[in-house]
Structure 1
Amino acid sequence: MPVTLSQAFISNFLGNSPKWYKIAILAFLVLNPVLFYLDPFVAGWVLVIEFIFTLAMALKCYPLQPGGLLAIEAVIIGMTSPSQVLHEIEANLEVILLLVFMVAGIYFMKQLLLFGFTKMITKVRSKTVVSIMFCSAAAFLSAFLDALTVIAVIIAVAVGFYAIYHKVASGKDFSASHDHTNDGNQCLDENELEAFRGYLRNLLMHAGVGTALGGVCTMVGEPQNLIIAAQANWQFAEFAIRMSPVTVPVFIAGMLTCLAVEKFKIFGYGAELPDAVHKILCDYSAHEDANRTNRDNMKLIVQAVVGIWLILGLALHLASVGLIGLTVIILCTAFNGITDEHALGKAFEEALPFTALLAVFFAVVAVIIDQGLFAPVIQWALGFEGNMQLVVFFIANALLSMVSDNVFVGTVYINEVKAALLNGQITRDQFDLLAVAINTGTNLPSVATPNGQAAFLFLLTSALAPLIRLSYGRMVWMALPYTIVLSIVGLVAIETGFLVEMTQYFYDSNILTHHSVKEAVEVIQSAH
């Protein structure tokens, strides 16, 4: 039977999303204008809850479309204005440049990263050691690079190895696609296949947590870090030092957790790489090394040199983060012969959808500011004193980041704390400590679900996830020990006063200098 126009509309609207989800979004769009007419404050909070719902349901539909529709409607009915949305985007231009240029820049360094992770798997036989290497390497890279790109590289390694295994298991030669011959024609049984899947699941989860451990440490580790650093007027080194009383103990605890889950084979960890699979991967790696030309080697050298420049440029703050990412694109492509426009375009595919979603974040933030939605919550939290105030902010950010995107949560809270500073409700030193609590609260507990961490969501929605049987529930279960440990250690570092004491020590030792309220006001107002 031919479909009616109404049926065609429902079918086309939000594509392959479930019908109930489509109806829910349409209901939101109908409800919001009515609520805004009756009570703007209530309507604003309903919009925020609806937007968080679209983030939580990211596996059903990418949040850009439903969230974008809600944001457009909010502007149309008067919850905020186009000028306020533009202002929020302008104030966070450096974050947008980070996503556009830095992610694309690291795309052109993938060969080097692939080379490094491949060697880890093939050269180190101990599963525990490999797990710690993957977790720590992902943490280090995510402190300077984009977590999505780091995960993308590790996924590419796993997909490549799985494809090699599949060819051999199917009775084919792994080098057939390279037009070479090889005398191996092994077959793997089902037990070996399951063990290999478990091995890849373990490494990918360790790496995913590693991106959170490293991403919280520096201002370029996560997009919200850069937003917080910009509002606080912190440079790269100062950001890392201020976070260190929380991030250093958390990193150590994270590594010990990695060691424990592998040692005791709990929460789905401890899967070993079968000997037959290891031999196949080693043969493949040797084949790649033997066929690597001097031109290929030169590309790796160029990427390594550019990587050194990237780290130095960020650490010394030689330019804004986005501009350093642009230099990475130019240097890698110029010296490695990538000059075709279409080849350049592929590098931007990963970043631009999330960049567009970030612009929608800022539209919702504009609604929150114009309607004063978080003011009562912030006033309640600021009613606490001392370490308890920091604990409340940490927990509030943690709980919301577990079910919603941590970039959105961090942006909302730092804006509200900034407003409290400008209104004279808190001192500059309080603001700095609260910024640390907000940053760590949004980054660490968000590993609980794929909703909070973009890197986890990217892994879950990748083509590899079904191949290695990595479901939403399994990911939450495997992340659980990390969630508990990282959250508790971060909370203890704040609640016991360790953060305050270490910050005071940095002041006394002249490692850090006090920022004046006048300076903070000038910096913040300059963005306006």
Structure 2
Amino acid sequence: MQLSYSQAVFKNFLGQAPQWFKLTIIGFLILNPILFFWVSPYVAGWALVIEFIFSLAMALKCYPLQPGGLLVIQAVAIGMTTPAQVLHEIEVNLEVILLLIFMVAGIYFMKNLLLVLFTKIITKIHSKIAVSLMFCAASAFLSAFLDALTVIAVIISVAVGFYSVYHKVASGLHQSQAHDPNSDHDLPEYSRSDLEQFRGFLRNLLMHAGVGTALGGVMTMVGEPQNLIIAEQAGWQFIEFAIRMSPVTIPVFIAGLLTCYLLEKFKWFSYGVPLPENVRQILVEFDQQETEARTRADNMKLVVQGLIAIWLIVGLALHLASVGLIGLTVIVLATAFTGVIEEHQIGHAFEEALPFTALLAVFFAVVAVIIDQQLFTPVINWVLTYEGNMQLVMFYLANGFLSMVSDNVFVGTVYITEVKKALLSGQITRDQFDMLAVAINTGTNLPSVATPNGQAAFLFLLTSAIAPLIRLSYGRMVFMALPYTIVLTIVGLLIINSGVLVEYTDMFYQMGLIEHHTLSESASPSGH
């Protein structure tokens, strides 16, 4: 039967997404102008934030770019924000965008080396607990010197490699044959249970690694973008930033590893899924075949990739250039010295990152609405009414809560800017400002692991190619992150509330590890 024009339009709208989801998005688009013009712009702004989070939660039903993009286009059209403000937010976050475009593509050209290294780890170490702790700790260490998005891109690349290897063999295909890992059609029935268990195993490792990026990212000024902004506002260098954060970050890191151990040991929250023996055997055989088939030219490619990896770590740790530009050098070096010189070969590297880059631009438009409608202003003003140690606690909690529903980079930037204004106006002392900077940094980094929208690394994982393969949905991520959220938030809160932070900071002053800053040493407040 031929569809009517209206039925055809509705069928094409958001493609294969469920009908109820399409109707929900249409409902949002009808509701928002009503709220904005006849109820309150403030209420409409919060409605948009909730609706955008909903679109992220339904990422496996429909990629969030389309529904989120429609909501944002309407928000700009009715006046919730302006194209100029959206562009400003994108310009402010240009380094993050360049990071996604170039660094993630750069990692694509190093995946052979990464697959070799991580295959050795998976096949040689039989203890799931040891592997989980290694993934978590390694992600934390790398995130302290690199950035969380780069680290999670590495882990995703490795996980996709593992999954493709097993899925191809289980489907009865040779490694050289083309195959679609998204389809289980060719999979025999006896392999399906192993595949489900393998998916659970990979979900465990990816979540441990994701939390690891948060544990390491909070420690240094290069771990997360907002850390760098906070350090600039406070006038801190790399070493001073790490020392000031250490009374909170080191106990939290230990608590995070202990949580990882307990989750695997007692199989709580869907953790503790072992690697199926059949899968291990396939990976071992794959490793042996690859090793035997590797020519001298292939070995030299691995050596070159190893040298580039060293350059990557050194370049980022010493801030020789912005992260995105270093990623561009990785692309140039990795392709020039491994024989990848055709345009279509290079183009594949950008397929993973560009959809997420577009989604991130949409997210920055939501941030523009948050700024223009001053959605966070009441919370900020309320927190500033507290004094002394309770002010630290309230800043930590407020930052944590807002980072769960928004973006931790945005929340950290807004809060440090407001606190800087309070310092310059004489509302708080320089020492209190330094303490608040620690509370803001830890507050935006730790509780934000609760949701994918809080941490860019988690959001990237949710919208990556691996998520649908291993059935990693928004709800499942929130559920699996819950024990980490509780532990990390409480440990950080207890330390800040106990006064330990103040005591250790005084001790650092006496030891000469850090110095008292004067008002004139602070950077001028930046408008965001």
TM-score scaled by structure 2?
Answer: 0.84
> Matches of 1:206 and 1:72 in 2, distance apart?
36
* 2:503 is aligned with 1:493: no
Whether the 8 Å CA contact 2:144–2:218 is kept in 1: the answer is: yes
What's the CA shift string for 1:157-183, capped at 9, x where partnerless? 44444455456656x5865759xxxxx
Pair 1:447-2:429 in alignment: no
1:287 equivalent among 283, 289, 309 = 289
Please say if 1:386 is aligned against 2:383: no
Q: CA deviation at 1:362?
A: 3.1
**Post-superposition CA distance 1:265-285 (Å, at most 9, x none):** 443333444545433322221
Question: Which residue is equivalent to 2:309?
Answer: 307
Distance across 2 between alignment mates of 1:347 and 1:190 = 30
Between the aligned residues of both structures, percent identity stands at 72
In structure 1, which of residues 244, 247, 256 is the aligned counterpart of residue 246 of structure 2? 244
Unaligned runs of 5+ in 2: 179-188
The corresponding residue for 2:258 is 256
Q: Contact 2:352–2:465 at 8 Å: present in 1 too?
A: no
Residue 11 of structure 1 is matched in structure 2 by: 11
Query: How far is the alpha carbon of 1:338 from its aligned partner?
Result: 2.7
Deviation per residue, 1:234-274 (Å, 9 max, x gap): 55544444433322211111112222233334433334445
Question: Cα deviations across residues 465-512 of structure 1 (Å, max 9, x unaligned)?
Answer: 566565555544443332222222122222222333334444444444
**Cα deviation 1:317-376 (Å, max 9, x = unaligned):** 223333333332333233333332333333333333333333333333333333333222
Amino acid in the other structure paired with 1:488 = I
- Structure 1 partner of 2:101: 100
Mark the CA change 1:237 to 1:310 in structure 2 (over 3 Å): closer, same or farther: farther
CA distance in 2, matches of 1:423, 1:29: 42
Aligned to 2:400: 398
CA offsets per residue over residues 13-40 of structure 1, 9 Å max, x none? 3333333433343343344344433444
Contiguous gaps of at least 5 residues in structure 1: 179-186
Q: Distance in 1 between matches of 2:265 and 2:235?
A: 43
Does the CA-based 8 Å contact 2:144-2:220 persist in structure 1? yes
Tell me the residue number matched to 1:90: 91
The structure-2 alpha-carbon separation of the partners of 1:45 and 1:432, relative to structure 1 and needing over 3 Å to count, comes to: farther
The question of whether the paired residues in 1 share the 8 Å contact of 2:58 and 2:474 is answered with no
Query: Is 397-406 or 205-214 further displaced after alignment?
Result: 397-406
Number of the residue aligned with 2:299: 297
Distance 1:60 1:465, change over 3 A: closer
Distance 2:300 2:195 in 1: 36
C-alpha distance 72-343 of structure 1, shift in aligned 2 (>3 A) = same
Q: Is the 8 A contact 1:216 1:444 kept in 2?
A: yes
Distance in 2 (alpha carbons) for counterparts of 1:287 and 1:395:
52
**Structure 1 counterpart SS, 2:350:** coil
Supply the distance in 2 between the matched residues of 1:169 and 1:60 (Cα, whole angstroms). Answer: 27
Deviation at 1:445, TM superposition (A): 2.7
After TM superposition, list the pairs within 5 Å mapping 1:175-214 onto structure 2: 177=177, 196-214=198-216
State the one-letter code of the partner of 1:25.
Answer: I
Change in CA separation of 1:341 and 1:143 when aligned onto 2, cut-off 3 Å: farther
Change (3 A) 1:338 1:432: farther
Distance in 2 separating the partners of 1:216 and 1:510: 23
The answer to whether the 8 Å contact 1:213/1:254 transfers is yes
Q: Which residue of 2 aligns with 1:141?
A: 142
1:114–1:154 CA contact under 8 A, matched in 2: no
Q: Give the residue type in structure 2 aligned to 1:480.
A: L
Structure 1 range deviating more: 471-480 or 9-18: 471-480
What residue identity is the alignment partner of 1:103?
V
Q: Secondary structure at the match of 1:347?
A: helix
CA gap 1:485/1:4 in 2 versus in 1, 3 angstroms: same
Q: Residues 459 and 521 of structure 1: is their aligned pair in 2 closer, same or farther, counting only changes over 3 Å?
A: closer
Deviation at residue 118 of structure 1 after TM alignment: 0.9
Change (3 A) 1:230 1:45: farther
CA contact (8 A) 2:233 2:523 kept: no
CA-CA distance at 1:135 after TM superposition: 1.7
CA distance in 2, matches of 1:236, 1:154: 26
Between 132-141 and 435-444, report the one with greater CA deviation. 435-444
Tell me if the contact between 1:245 and 1:499 (Cα under 8 Å) persists in the aligned partners. Answer: yes
Conserved? CA contact 1:365–1:412, under 8 Å: no
- Number of aligned pairs? 518
For 2:164 and 2:46, how far apart are their aligned partners in 1? 48
Distance 1:248 1:16 in 2: 47
Q: Using a 3 Å threshold, how does the CA distance of structure 1 residues 47 and 467 change in structure 2: closer, same or farther?
A: closer
Pair 1:25 & 2:29 matched: no
Where do residues 288-437 of structure 1 align in structure 2 (5 Å cutoff)? 288-407=290-409, 409-414=411-416, 416-417=418-419, 420=422, 425-437=427-439
Stretch of structure 1 that moved more, 497-506 or 205-214 = 497-506
Distance 1:193 1:51, change over 3 A: closer
| 1:384 partner SS | coil
**Match for 1:372: what amino acid?**
Q
* C-alpha distance in 2 between matches for 1:17 and 1:435: 43
Residue 271 of structure 2: SS of its match in structure 1? Answer: coil
Mapped partners of 1:143, 1:4: distance in 2: 57
- 1:67 corresponds to which residue? 68
